Amino acid sequence: MIVVTGGAGFIGCNLIRGLNRAGIDDIVCVDDLTDGSKFRNLVDCRIGDYWDKERFAELLREGLPTRPTAVFHQGACSVTTERDGRFMMETNYRYSVDLLEYCLDARVPLIYASSAAVYGASTVFEETSESAERPLNVYGYSKLLFDRYVRRRLSEAQSQVAGLRYFNVYGPGEAHKGPMASVALHWDRQLRETGEVRLFEGSGGYAAGEQRRDFIHVEDVVKVNLWLLEHPDISGVFNVGTGRSASFNELARAVIAWHGQGSVRYIPFPDELESAYQSFTEADIGALRAAGFSEPFLDVEAGVAAYLSAIHGRS
């Protein structure tokens, strides 16, 4: 039995599908379906059971009825603009600590989602550089604090603990995320509705639309997770990005190219984002490669084309 927390979410549901393709159906999906629309992400997933996240937290304290083979911890509050620090720390940090302690005690492999938000305004993206860890919001801090807790516990761990610092993930299954969905999805909608995509004007020393992010397709993220499941001897905190940044202009051109029409319009950069915006991210994936993961990652042109073809039913 494999547990996937956040299983009805964006990365979680894609991970469950990946497990299904690998012939694994005995999966417990843990989530919070207060937003009932997320059920759509699970309709084509084969799972053995569903537990509410609060019930799962109780079972961690009482003892799970069955010892899992592994736990993929994808559940979190991923709203980077959330200002309620108590809620964020309880949801992202304390819940994760309780799950880690259960897995360490029961010797259950734990593969969990961290975030490139831990780097904040840094221009260095190395997992081993604490000076590069400069989160800009409480979301990034909640992820960083748990990574540091994991590092302190790793020397005592007798089972796998692997943290994955996801960079900008995009792909099918993110429609429920609203403002937190990828720009690829927002621009696809904008282009279909208005014939244009809207990008920010220059910021952080970058020209209009030239801010750069490391965009990674969700299927590549799933591949890394499943590879770790197959290599339970590998632990640590790893960046998960393509290793190459792309400008927002490049991604916008990929969306326009798929549609075969459209234009770009630059809009003023929001004042409220000035101190909380990452104008550049690019994963250093040396540690992941050194650990043995050798598969290539999709570039934005191929990744955006695959994404839009999937959501619009075009082969």
Give catalytic residue positions: 139, 177
H helix or E strand, kind and range, residue 104: helix 95-106
**Short-list 7, 10, 52, CA closest to 218:** 10
**Short-list 171, 159, 72, 154, CA closest to 108:** 159
CB 215, CB 251: distance < 8 Å: yes
Give the integer Cα–Cα distance in Å for 186 and 178: 9
Within a 10 A sphere around the Cβ of 37, how many other Cβ atoms? 10
CB 7, CB 14: distance < 8 Å: no
Sign of CA pseudo-dihedral 117, 123, 124, 130? negative
CB 198, CB 267: distance < 8 Å: yes
